[in-house]
Structure 1
Amino acid sequence: MSRLTTILVLAVGVLAGGLGATLLSAPKLDEAAVTAIAENVVAKAKPEPGLTASAVETIVADLIAKQPKQDTPQPAAALEQSAIDPMIEKYLLGNPRILQKVSAALDAELTAERMAATRTAMVELKPAIFESENGIVLGNPNGDVTLVEMFDYNCGYCRQALPDLAALLDSDKNLKVVLKEFPILSQGSVDAARIAAQVADADVDYWAFHQALFTSRGQVDKAAALKAAADLGLNPITLEMGMATPRVDKVIEESYRIADRLKITGTPTFIIGDEIIPGAIGLDALKQRIANMRACGATVCTTEQPG
């Protein structure tokens, strides 16, 4: 059953049932009445803000109240959802554009709800995203703009974005970059991230380690990460023993928590200001957003914003 059908069935069924089949004043809902209700619901639905479930309920309640009254009690079966369902289905199958219209409206409503939830989550998660000790800070730690990247060492698009990140670090000396380990593609990714979290805490060049893994051949796994760390002078045995420590767990779990709240499912994902940017969007696009952050405090500047 479609979402429109579900809404109409629930609205008609629940509201009609709520009137009480044993009441003398219960309206008679035959096929013609249900069809009339459906037509009126669609006719009264405005394009903006869209046909929501509450709007349907309001319209249906009004229309049921206007149905002809009968003088004798109506059998309960006449108001059961199983009797109303086929009537609404028949009407909708004969009017497919209605399904498209209401489906689009409901999609817009759900999208708006998700966006509102994401904005709320962004406010709550800002310290974890931009300021947490569990992120690896590159560039200027006191920079006026912060660029966050959530990445997986086995992500091809992350590899593609590496030169863009390097170019930004070289050219923009007032940019703070925060790297968040977000291993989602394989167990090898998880193992490499657990080694990387320890490298980030060590007194070595993490950026060199990071680049070494992304420019290596084949899948990045524990062995590859241990080799890259050993090339920087770290003890691979110590690193392997430290893969399951609470400190390492905290680094990985924080990224998963952020991703879950913000509905981030892929890598790379960049975060600048309040914008979540999926994918490798290219150097110019990143530069433009950084410039806009400096100009107006948002990744997209409008005429209403100070600049």
Structure 2
Amino acid sequence: MNRLSIVLAAVAGILAGALGYSLVTQPKPETDAVAVRAIVEQVLDEHAVMAAAAVPPVEEAPETAAIDPAILNPMIEQYLMSDPKVLQRVSAALETALRSEEEERTRTAMASFHDRIFNAPDQIVLGNPDGDVTLVEFFDYNCGYCRAALPDMAALLEEDPNLKVVLKEFPILSNESIDAARVGVLVGQADADYWDFHSALFTSRGKVDKAVALSAAETLGLSSADLEARMNAPDVAETIQSSYEIAQALGITGTPTYIIGNEIIPGAIGADELRSRIANMRECGKSQCS
């Protein structure tokens, strides 16, 4: 290993700590260290050469020779202090590289879970089952943002006859949410208007729990006693578990979260933004056209 490589490796280590970059979502920290080093080599070519030139000439050392950190680290610190903007450039390059890696992981996960996201036999489908664009929503019945976004979904379903909407029960806020989701799965299996049930829960007052969900189902002509007896059935649990597994694979942690094409959209972005992405899917096959 030449001295330039040693300097770059040490700089990479210092930068990784100095940037304070959160790697909570990165499952393999060792991969990020390699990425940091590659970025340093790419964006600091001239600076790295200068740093290497600053090292006093010495005889070639064996591959296994150790370099005293007490000597090397002050040199690297002096080099960085001479041009603090190095950190800014590396930070931007690192963020770009990690974002690219995250996008690639998402694409891979989307391909692996495609059928479970868009075509699962137990999923709730609203709108046109054969629509040319599919909008998926992960929701929790006790999510205030989901409640606020209900009119957005209603407007899209009303105005767009070629839109397919897939609703994924994703109860993450409370045990009451889980109970309501279990009832929701059963209502989805029944010959009933799920949108009426869905709207009733999101327009109810207070916390949505089992009693609220069973009452809403009963207004659709379903037996609350029968639904309560089947709430813990294995197929109900499997449907909800599938949503958890998809969410984990895609990094979905909140509600509402939408999926259009290969784009994961966290948060209630509003009807206009959803319309724009739907229109893009029809125009170029992607949620964001270049």
Task: Please tell me the TM-score bracket, short chain as reference.
Answer: 0.7 to 0.9
> In the alignment, which residue of structure 1 is the partner of 2:37?
53
Taking only aligned residues, the RMSD between alpha carbons, in angstroms, comes to 3.1
In 2: Cα distance, 1:204 partner to 1:190 partner: 20
| Offset at residue 225 of structure 1 (A) | 1.1
* 1:103 alignment partner, one of 79, 87, 91: 91
* 1:69 alignment partner, one of 39, 47, 58: 58
Report the TM-score when normalising by structure 1: 0.73
> In the alignment, which residue of structure 2 is the partner of 1:220?
208
5+ long unaligned stretches in structure 2: 13-34
Residue pairs, 1:159-178, within 5 angstroms: 159-178=147-166
- Aligned pair 1:153/2:151, yes or no? no
Deviation per residue, 1:56-99 (Å, 9 max, x gap): 479779949x86223999x97x6244654454345545643322
Which of 271-280 and 54-63 deviates more? 54-63
SS of residue matched to 1:227? helix
In 2: Cα distance, 1:161 partner to 1:226 partner: 23
In 1: Cα distance, 2:61 partner to 2:173 partner: 66
> In the alignment, which residue of structure 1 is the partner of 2:9?
11
Cα gap change, 1:87 to 1:141, in 2 (>3 Å): same
**Alignment-mate amino acid for residue 264 of structure 1:** I
Deviation per residue, 1:241-292 (Å, 9 max, x gap): 3222221121111111111111112211111112222222222222222222
Q: Is the 8 A contact 2:7 2:76 kept in 1?
A: yes
* 2:104 alignment partner, one of 106, 116, 119: 116
In 1: Cα distance, 2:122 partner to 2:113 partner: 13
In 2: Cα distance, 1:12 partner to 1:285 partner: 45
| Structure having the higher Rg | 1
Q: Is the 8 A contact 1:134 1:250 kept in 2?
A: no
SS of residue matched to 2:113? helix
Deviation per residue, 1:196-248 (Å, 9 max, x gap): 11111112221111000000001111221122122223232332332222211
Cα gap change, 1:87 to 1:147, in 2 (>3 Å): same
Q: How many residues align?
A: 257
5+ long unaligned stretches in structure 1: 1-6, 15-50, 303-307
> In the alignment, which residue of structure 2 is the partner of 1:144?
132
In 2: Cα distance, 1:9 partner to 1:189 partner: 54
Residue pairs, 1:139-288, within 5 angstroms: 139-288=127-276
Deviation per residue, 1:89-128 (Å, 9 max, x gap): 4554564332222122212111110011111111222111
Cα gap change, 1:196 to 1:255, in 2 (>3 Å): same
SS of residue matched to 1:141? coil
In 2: Cα distance, 1:290 partner to 1:230 partner: 35
Q: Is the 8 A contact 2:39 2:93 kept in 1?
A: no
In 2: Cα distance, 1:92 partner to 1:145 partner: 51
In 2: Cα distance, 1:237 partner to 1:199 partner: 13
Q: Is the 8 A contact 2:11 2:76 kept in 1?
A: no
Q: Is the 8 A contact 2:39 2:94 kept in 1?
A: no
Q: Is the 8 A contact 2:40 2:90 kept in 1?
A: no
Cα gap change, 1:93 to 1:291, in 2 (>3 Å): same
> In the alignment, which residue of structure 2 is the partner of 1:29?
none
In 2: Cα distance, 1:279 partner to 1:71 partner: 57
**Alignment-mate amino acid for residue 103 of structure 1:** S
Which of 231-240 and 264-273 deviates more? 231-240
Q: Is the 8 A contact 1:134 1:180 kept in 2?
A: no
